[in-house]
Structure 1
Amino acid sequence: MIRKLFSGLLLSGLLLGNFTYAQQGLDNNQADFGEFMDRKGTYTRTASGKPSENYWQNKADYQIEATLDENAHVLTGKITINYTNNSPENLDFVWLQLEQNRFTPDSRGTLTTPVQGNRYNGDTDGGFDISAVQAKVGSKGTVSSKHIITDTRMQVWFNEPIPAKGGKASISMNFSFKVPQKGMDRMGRLKVNDGWIYAFAQWYPKMAVFDDVEGWNVEPYLGAGEFYLEYGDFDYKITVPYDHVVVGSGKLMNPKEVLSKELQNRYAKAMQSDTTVYLIAPDEIKNTALTRPKQDGTITWHFQIKNSRDVAFATSKTFIWDAAKINLPSGKTILAQSVYPKESDGQEAWSRSTEYSKASIEHYSEMWFEFPYETATNVAADIGGMEYPGLNFCRYTSKGEGLWGVTDHEFGHNWFPMIVGNNERRYAWMDEGFNTFINHYSTLAFNEGEYSSNLNQTRRYNNYFQNENREGIDTYPDVANTGNLGMVAYMKPGIGLIVLREYILGPERFDNAFRSYINTWAYKHPLPSDFFNHMENVAGENLSWYWKGWFYGNGNIDLGINAVIPYGGNYLAILSNKGEIPMPVLLEIEFEDGSKERQMLPVEIWQRGDSWNHLIRTDKKVTKVTIDPDKILPDINLGNDSWPQLIYED
């Protein structure tokens, strides 16, 4: 006791001796709080994080007809793109993306894949066969066939420029490709007992984005980097063998032509049902007389989707098909549906897929922004998980919590990047990270917490945060180490938003800002700076220190309590910031009578240096002080977060 008292008095004297110095902040950290990137307003984007009155965006409308040759595993089609140039400059040419060209032996993606392989391995015996290219400006322009194909990009030239500010052009061509069996975990085909499942994505030539920041965005398709696409309306027709079922992005336009009378009735029943209804039951897969309107040849399925950036579809004769109604906040109802083979059937597996899909879409629509499309479809395929507007491909062997997680995650992508159209190829964290964040709350809400969220405990990832090989959130996905990509693109930005919502801003301020961001940038192309500016302006907080430290830095959080000592009838908490990222300090103070109170110290205390003395005004005896009592922060040092007992004793 004497030693404890002596050391307490000594520590008290030393700390108080430094008290004046620490408070004056002679050595400040203002550099941590300054702007770290150019976030000034531009001609097209405001400093408040909104599109300005001069913002423009080009538009691409598609008409596509395609036919599947199941024997050769080849898709053949023709496409017409009606392009509107809303930019302020005339365009002599346009760029398109030919992502099937990734599946060739000499593609950039193939040649930059490590010898040992990775998730983005793919077949190399495919690629587009392009023919009959025609391009013209307006309805009276002359036709040009001039084009250059370079890897996964295609440049198409016109005989005269597309006029600025509303000029129109059309580009048409024929295309075909062999459907890869291994499609880089994004698309492809899977053999099951009853036949093949075809998951079609990146299946047609599509417009590259011409924007107000980069001009033409022509990064090649390598693998990890995903997509950046223009918005427009799609009308597409898929011709398949008569015994196939096709599900696709958007609305089925010809149900009477492709569904039997019995199937039409079941479809209508599902549209009125909050519980899952079989359209094709497991024992009906081969009963085409019951489910199909014809019994030979081919049949054409017709789909449309408006204001979308992409379309995908799946086709197979092996599908169990079930569906249920989705209830949207506006009162509108749409369809959730799932297709899967017998191998995926079961109440512990895909029989719950439609239940999961319905819950996911309803939650995000209520929480953030209403789902805009006519259907939400989950497809069982040999794909870990990949998202397209209104349609997912998920692993056909997934079950239980794993199936919930991948279904919810892929449907969450309808908000980022399908509705908020960021550039995935450059800023993976703006879709994967934002989506991981909203998945956290969807999982907490589903079935009263049936499954747990990966982000319930942010400190479980501290080993990564202290790993010398860690990479920052701003690392391009195609550059990031494959082993780090999950943290760089998904978990770290997701954790960052949880900290921002639950610790820094609070749910009300955060939700107002985040909803406003989604609504403001719906069907547009935001940059990181637009997100930062918008969140700050709506929430009313300068967050440069946080964007710089967590999103564009690689440092860590380490807040600590060095001591709690009596001071003038009150108590003094001696605090330190030993990490690279400043943070507000939430203190929970416990008293001898069992009561507790919380005090939040603003982040600005660290502008004055790395130590701070906080006066706890109380006439009660303090028994414990804890930083971040709810353990929201991914603080890397657990040992200095609390002061368990007083140094002195009466």
Structure 2
Amino acid sequence: MKFKSVFISLFIPFGIFAQNIQNNPNSNHGNKFEQLGTILPTPNVYRTASGAPGQGYWQNRADYEITAYLDEDKRNLKGSETVTYYNNSPDDLDYLWLQLDENEQSSINNAGYHDSSFIPKQTTTERLKVTDLPEKNNGYGVNLEKVTDASGKPLKYVVNKTMMRIDLPKVLKKGEKFVFKIDWNYNIPNRMTMGGRGGYEYFPEDGNDLYTITQWFPRMCVYSDFKGWQNNQFTGRGEFALVFGNYKVTMNVPADHIVASTGVGKNFEQVLTPAQLQRWKQAQTANEPLEIVTLEEAKKAEKNRSKQRKTWVFEAENVRDFAWTSSRKFVWDAMKVVIPENNNQVMAMSLYPKEAYNLYRKFSTKAVAHTIKTYSEFTVPYPYPVAQSVEAANGMEYPMICFNYGRTEKDGTYSEGIKNGMIGVIIHEVGHNFFPMIINSDERQWSWMDEGLNTFVEYLTEEKWDNKFPSRRGPAHTIVDYMRLPKDQLEPIMVNSENIIHFGPNAYAKPATGLNILRETIMGRELFDEAFKTYSKRWAFKHPEPADFFRTMNDASGENLDWFWRGWFYGTDAVDISIDKVTVATPDFDAAPKSREISYTVEKPLQNDFEDISKIRNRNDKNIEFYTDKDKSTQDFYWRYNRGMEKVDDTKKYSMKVDNMEKVSSKDKAQLQNVMAYQIDFSNKGGLVMPIILEFTFEDGTKLTDKSSAQIWRKNEQKVSKTYYFDKKLKSIQLDPMRETADIDTSNNFWGEIPAPASKFEVFKQKNEAAARGAAQGQVNPMQAAGKK
């Protein structure tokens, strides 16, 4: 779903804080770089420590056969469905849970999640209504007519707000299936006034409706290894958790309506005119969008409402949901797209009313094609036969079909903002075919796993559409306004969908920005892209959880990214790295090396300063025979010396001269005479660790850049320093010059007054290489003092 972000700068008194996941809270280190450890769920046979599905991974399945009758006069939808539910879990099931999302429109059966409300400064007559206590039934929501087993025997069921539980006549065991039937109907809401995901839009100028039939039938909840039944109530925000299955759906609609849906049309010969059918066949090989239903045909249908009816039939395989649209207003165009990675022949299509013609005809189907090809490059090859965009003045996604906005002025012109917004929302909603329609995360719990990941790949796709495309989410600098909000207005990304204040920034923009920072700044494109593909392939047509994503990205890249997941996803700290001080020093090549005279005595026996209990017990244990007691050849001088069997004068004074430095040669001095040392002191004011990226500008106009990885903060998460040696004078230092870390305060990122050298550091040439570890150090040892070998 495309969500418009709004930043609210007012104080909001909500006590929402980051999760306290510090290991060493009273220290300046040992917190931000520690492993996530027990914060993540324990790996098991279903989900491995590497982030891949385990050898025992399973998921349940549901197949649907549905018949639907659209009553345009009453604006009512009547349906009958047969569901075949397969229990692939190792558990016995006593009951099944289904979603009744249309109950969200009911005044009495909705989820009951209320928000604070206040007297408005202004309102409308439609909204100004006397408060009903108790609430009166507004006539919306699902009316269940009949719930039976396959033989027609009634089943016991309970409706709890937006959820329905069917009690099974007997336990459903592993490997078994259960078939049941539900007949239902509901009044279709006006989504332009009531809101919601599906409904109708009325066009007063021509008196016609445009129907988007979504979340419209009782649908199976997910039963999983990590949660059991996902039966969280539908509040209108957290979207879905759904199971895969096959669908056969028939829609009985007015004869002059055009229908599009998830899946493939099976009876176009019966529902299209001969001319339209011929164009449909031509579109199978078209490289440019070809109109199947023309603008002229759509305008004619608007004026001549048919009293007849037609039945459209669609089928879809291995999808997690099914949605459709119906209207006599539609223009319909299509073209063929080939996905190179799997050679899949896909029909990219668009449907739109005349009000959107000048925009959708130019861009929509081409944007659909571009999206599925680009997402296939970054994730998994698009597997379905259809991808389509429907102009319906909104933004919402379902398998193979999505609903977007993009209408022109009455004269056919449009603004640049509407054009770019339309292209962006088409890319976003078509992209949802991958997240979560294929990589099937639990949107009801974790909005970021579909919205955030999808927004990230949307950004990559927008960039490949037009290098000048004004993407609002993805670049690091675009998240700064959100990240600098007071902490009481923030919550971690790892929060349930229903409890987020700034939903757009939190669920869409922040995770997308974080992934872009990983790709561009921390991991690099090649390493990131391969790891991201690995996650997509591992979890295509499965149910991933956050730990599966975090673990896979670590596992497939060889990068320990727990510090990033910990800070960016589990916390609310922001990036604010400050340049606090610059110190300059020059080398002193003329200082005289100072030799040292060391006075010492020979080493005393290296005995333990305390006889521990293990040594005492071992010595008293008659069953233990020590190796050096058995093998006399190991009893060397020091074995005897340690036991007082060798006598050495350990009071005699010896001396040794240490003289391993000499003056720098004139050649080295000439080469290094212009070198100066620049120590830069940084502080972490925001709390979130990030790489330190610097751009150095020299007095001669040249520039150099350097990047220190985030691990520079691992031993002190609050302050670090780094020293550089340059052979030309430094003019200024710019921190994060490309604004790629989402630093919220750039006023402390620039140092333009390089101070004069304040000190000198001595430079010498080393005479000899440092002694190797374990080599003799030149001092008299006890063996020499005793004259022994």
Per the TM superposition, whether the score is higher than 0.5 is yes
Q: Residue 522 of structure 1: CA displacement?
A: 0.7
Give the structure 2 partner of residue 604 of structure 1. 711
Is the counterpart of residue 331 in structure 1 residue 343 in structure 2?
A: yes
Separation in structure 1 between the aligned mates of residue 558 and residue 677 of structure 2, nearest angstrom: 33
Give the structure 2 partner of residue 88 of structure 1. 90
Give the structure 2 partner of residue 11 of structure 1. none
Higher deviation after alignment, 532-541 or 109-118? 109-118
Q: Residue 185 of structure 1: CA displacement?
A: 3.6
State the TM-score, normalized to the length of structure 2.
0.74
Is the counterpart of residue 443 in structure 1 residue 453 in structure 2?
A: no
Give the structure 2 partner of residue 66 of structure 1. 68
Secondary structure, counterpart of 1:159 in structure 2? strand
Cα 1:98–1:587 change in 2 (3 A) is same
Secondary structure, counterpart of 1:494 in structure 2? helix
AA partner of residue 106 (structure 1): I
User: Could you tell me whether the CA contact under 8 Å between 1:28 and 1:607 is conserved in 2?
Assistant: no
User: Could you tell me whether the CA contact under 8 Å between 1:572 and 1:613 is conserved in 2?
Assistant: yes
Is the counterpart of residue 548 in structure 1 residue 566 in structure 2?
A: yes
User: Could you tell me whether the CA contact under 8 Å between 1:591 and 1:621 is conserved in 2?
Assistant: yes
Give the structure 1 partner of residue 381 of structure 2. 370
User: Could you tell me whether the CA contact under 8 Å between 1:135 and 1:158 is conserved in 2?
Assistant: no
Give the structure 2 partner of residue 585 of structure 1. 692
Secondary structure, counterpart of 2:216 in structure 1? coil
Which structure 2 residues correspond to residues 93-492 of structure 1 after superposition, within 5 A?
A: 93-109=95-111, 112=114, 115=117, 124-135=138-149, 143=153, 145-164=155-174, 166-182=175-191, 184-192=195-203, 193-194=205-206, 195-285=208-298, 287=300, 297-329=308-340, 330-346=342-358, 348=359, 351-382=362-393, 384-395=394-405, 397=407, 399-446=418-465, 448-449=466-467, 451-455=469-473, 457-468=475-486, 469-481=489-501, 484-492=502-510
Q: Residue 111 of structure 1: CA displacement?
A: 5.7
Q: Residue 72 of structure 1: CA displacement?
A: 0.7
Higher deviation after alignment, 370-379 or 503-512? 370-379
Q: Residue 371 of structure 1: CA displacement?
A: 1.6
Q: Residue 471 of structure 1: CA displacement?
A: 2.8
Of 599, 610, 624 in structure 1, the residue corresponding to residue 732 of structure 2 is 624
Secondary structure, counterpart of 1:438 in structure 2? helix
CA offsets 1:585-632 (integer angstroms, 9 cap, x no match) = 222333344443333222222121122221213333333333222211
Q: Residue 351 of structure 1: CA displacement?
A: 4.3
User: Could you tell me whether the CA contact under 8 Å between 1:196 and 1:316 is conserved in 2?
Assistant: yes
CA offsets 1:63-102 (integer angstroms, 9 cap, x no match) = 1111111111111111011111011111111111111111
User: Could you tell me whether the CA contact under 8 Å between 1:94 and 1:155 is conserved in 2?
Assistant: yes
Higher deviation after alignment, 329-338 or 568-577? 568-577
Separation in structure 2 between the aligned mates of residue 162 and residue 53 of structure 1, nearest angstrom: 23
User: Could you tell me whether the CA contact under 8 Å between 2:196 and 2:236 is conserved in 1?
Assistant: no
AA partner of residue 466 (structure 1): R
CA offsets 1:201-258 (integer angstroms, 9 cap, x no match) = 0111110010001111110111111111011111111111111100001111111111
CA offsets 1:23-61 (integer angstroms, 9 cap, x no match) = xxx953211222341343123110111110011100111
Separation in structure 2 between the aligned mates of residue 485 and residue 415 of structure 1, nearest angstrom: 21
Consecutive unaligned residues of structure 2, counting only runs of 5 or more, are: 1-25, 128-136, 409-417, 588-675, 759-789
Separation in structure 1 between the aligned mates of residue 476 and residue 430 of structure 2, nearest angstrom: 23
User: Could you tell me whether the CA contact under 8 Å between 1:144 and 1:158 is conserved in 2?
Assistant: no
User: Could you tell me whether the CA contact under 8 Å between 1:112 and 1:222 is conserved in 2?
Assistant: no
User: Could you tell me whether the CA contact under 8 Å between 2:475 and 2:513 is conserved in 1?
Assistant: no
Consecutive unaligned residues of structure 1, counting only runs of 5 or more, are: 1-25
CA offsets 1:539-572 (integer angstroms, 9 cap, x no match) = 1112222111111111111112223333444322
Q: Residue 456 of structure 1: CA displacement?
A: 6.2
Higher deviation after alignment, 466-475 or 316-325? 466-475
* Larger-gyration structure (1/2): 2
Give the structure 2 partner of residue 17 of structure 1. none
Give the structure 2 partner of residue 8 of structure 1. none
User: Could you tell me whether the CA contact under 8 Å between 1:142 and 1:159 is conserved in 2?
Assistant: no
User: Could you tell me whether the CA contact under 8 Å between 1:625 and 1:642 is conserved in 2?
Assistant: yes
User: Could you tell me whether the CA contact under 8 Å between 1:473 and 1:493 is conserved in 2?
Assistant: yes
Which structure 2 residues correspond to residues 502-581 of structure 1 after superposition, within 5 A?
A: 502-567=520-585, 568=587, 569-581=676-688
Q: Residue 526 of structure 1: CA displacement?
A: 1.0
Secondary structure, counterpart of 1:648 in structure 2? coil
CA offsets 1:285-335 (integer angstroms, 9 cap, x no match) = 25569x99xx76211111111111101000011111112222212332211
Higher deviation after alignment, 573-582 or 589-598? 589-598
Give the structure 2 partner of residue 22 of structure 1. none
Separation in structure 2 between the aligned mates of residue 312 and residue 142 of structure 1, nearest angstrom: 27
Instruction: Tell me how many residue pairs correspond in the alignment.
Output: 609
Higher deviation after alignment, 605-614 or 215-224? 605-614
Separation in structure 1 between the aligned mates of residue 706 and residue 163 of structure 2, nearest angstrom: 56
Q: Residue 342 of structure 1: CA displacement?
A: 1.6
Cα 1:114–1:571 change in 2 (3 A) is closer
Give the structure 1 partner of residue 607 of structure 2. none
AA partner of residue 326 (structure 1): V
User: Could you tell me whether the CA contact under 8 Å between 1:96 and 1:207 is conserved in 2?
Assistant: yes
Q: Residue 128 of structure 1: CA displacement?
A: 1.2
Higher deviation after alignment, 333-342 or 205-214? 333-342
Separation in structure 2 between the aligned mates of residue 203 and residue 108 of structure 1, nearest angstrom: 15
User: Could you tell me whether the CA contact under 8 Å between 2:260 and 2:325 is conserved in 1?
Assistant: yes
Give the structure 2 partner of residue 6 of structure 1. none
Higher deviation after alignment, 147-156 or 621-630? 621-630
Q: Residue 276 of structure 1: CA displacement?
A: 1.7
Separation in structure 2 between the aligned mates of residue 452 and residue 288 of structure 1, nearest angstrom: 38
Separation in structure 2 between the aligned mates of residue 163 and residue 143 of structure 1, nearest angstrom: 21
AA partner of residue 241 (structure 2): Y
Separation in structure 1 between the aligned mates of residue 504 and residue 299 of structure 2, nearest angstrom: 41
User: Could you tell me whether the CA contact under 8 Å between 2:98 and 2:218 is conserved in 1?
Assistant: yes
| Cα RMSD, aligned residues only | 2.5
Q: Residue 492 of structure 1: CA displacement?
A: 1.1
Higher deviation after alignment, 530-539 or 267-276? 267-276
Give the structure 1 partner of residue 597 of structure 2. none
User: Could you tell me whether the CA contact under 8 Å between 1:185 and 1:385 is conserved in 2?
Assistant: no
Cα 1:287–1:636 change in 2 (3 A) is closer
Q: Residue 135 of structure 1: CA displacement?
A: 2.9
